């Protein structure tokens, strides 16, 4: 019978669980520890990976009673992990770089990415308001999603092995509480991250989409969606 490895007491938490921060050390010396943040009601709150599921539990407590029409409609819950990249960049002194908390606020005002009326009607009292994709003709399901932002945001060329592990770890911690996951990522090394995650998360029963953009979420333009002067959104 094989021997059981004894874990040093200094690596255990009070409840007997392993303190992962003490056990694991960065593979890459350039790795910078990340925080997770959510933007709500003009404020920014830090959350831990193990408490990501509480985001939508808080929403359920603050949600209005639905009408009979909406009670029959399903909601698919999606967690969006925003790591950085071009999609959330803004220019400063002629240089584009990821700007903290800009992307979540920009999405909030974009009709193609957020049904404000639905959110205000059903999640008006929620502490952390989600986003809702517009309805799709022929489908009764609505996609409700929450955007969790990494701090600091990274250009994908600065991604390390430890960042890949962190993303997989955060998805694992919240896996049982969402129907799908989206990782927003810079395009330079997106393929490498997707490949690494595919080996770390085999045989999943839920979709994990790794995607990015080569244009910014909002660009100054002569025309918007409706052919009127203003902003173009992507």
211 is catalytic: no
Q: Is residue 164 part of a domain?
A: yes
Cα–Cα distance measured from residue 119 to residue 122, given in angstroms and rounded to the nearest whole number: 5
Number of domains the chain is built from? 1
Q: Is residue 46 part of a domain?
A: yes
> Residue 197 belongs to a domain with what CATH number?
3.40.50.1170
The confidence band for 48, taking pLDDT boundaries of 50, 70 and 90, is low
Q: What is the pTM of this model?
A: 0.72
Of the listed 187, 189, 193, 211, which one is catalytic? Answer: 187
- pLDDT at 68 (0 to 100): 31
Q: Is residue 227 part of a domain?
A: no
CA atoms within 13 A on the CB side of 90: 8
Asked if residue 1 has pLDDT above 90, the reply is no
> What does the DSSP assignment read for 105-156?
HHHHT-TTT--HHHHHHHSTT-SS--EEPPP-TT---EEEEEEEEEES---G
Asked if residue 43 has pLDDT above 50, the reply is yes
40 is catalytic: no
Q: Is residue 137 part of a domain?
A: yes
Cα–Cα distance measured from residue 151 to residue 128, given in angstroms and rounded to the nearest whole number: 18
What residues form the annotated binding site for substrate?
Answer: 156, 187-188
Is residue 153 within 8 Å of 83, Cβ to Cβ? yes
Q: Is residue 7 part of a domain?
A: no
Is residue 221 within 8 Å of 232, Cβ to Cβ? yes
Q: Is residue 170 part of a domain?
A: yes
Q: Which domain holds residue 59?
A: 41-65+72-217
- pLDDT at 55 (0 to 100): 62
Of the listed 86, 91, 160, 193, which one is catalytic? Answer: 86
Q: Is residue 211 part of a domain?
A: yes
Q: Report pLDDT digits (tens) over 133-165.
A: 999 888 888 999 999 999 888 888 888 888 999
Q: How far is CA 216 from CA 72, 85, 144, in A?
A: 37, 9, 23
Asked if residue 59 has pLDDT above 60, the reply is no
| Segment 25-47 mean pLDDT | 64
The confidence band for 23, taking pLDDT boundaries of 50, 70 and 90, is very low
Q: Is residue 10 part of a domain?
A: no
What residues form the annotated binding site?
Answer: 156, 187-188
The confidence band for 184, taking pLDDT boundaries of 50, 70 and 90, is very high
């Amino acid at each position: 019978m094989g021997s059981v490895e004894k874990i040093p007491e200094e690596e255990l938490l009070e409840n007997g669980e392993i303190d992962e921060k003490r056990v694991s050390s960065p593979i890459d010396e350039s790795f910078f520890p990340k925080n997770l943040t959510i933007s709500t009601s003009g404020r920014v709150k830090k959350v831990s990976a193990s408490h990501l599921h509480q985001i939508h539990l808080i929403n359920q407590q603050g949600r209005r009673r639905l009408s009979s029409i909406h009670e029959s409609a399903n909601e698919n819950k999606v967690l969006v992990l925003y790591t950085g990249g071009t999609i959330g960049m803004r220019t400063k002194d002629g240089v584009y770089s990821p700007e903290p908390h800009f992307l979540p606020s920009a999405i909030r005002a974009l009709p193609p990415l957020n049904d404000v009326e639905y959110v205000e009607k059903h999640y008006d009292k929620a502490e952390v308001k989600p986003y809702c994709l517009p309805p799709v003709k022929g489908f009764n399901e609505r996609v409700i999603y929450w955007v969790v932002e990494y701090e600091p945001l990274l250009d994908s060329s600065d991604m390390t092995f430890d960042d890949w592990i962190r993303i997989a770890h955060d998805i694992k911690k919240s896996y049982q509480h969402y129907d799908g996951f989206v990782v927003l990522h810079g395009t330079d090394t997106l393929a490498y991250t997707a490949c690494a995650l595919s080996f770390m998360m085999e045989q999943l029963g839920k979709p994990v989409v790794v995607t990015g953009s080569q244009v910014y979420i909002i660009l100054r333009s002569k025309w918007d969606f409706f052919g009127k002067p203003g902003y173009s959104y992507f």
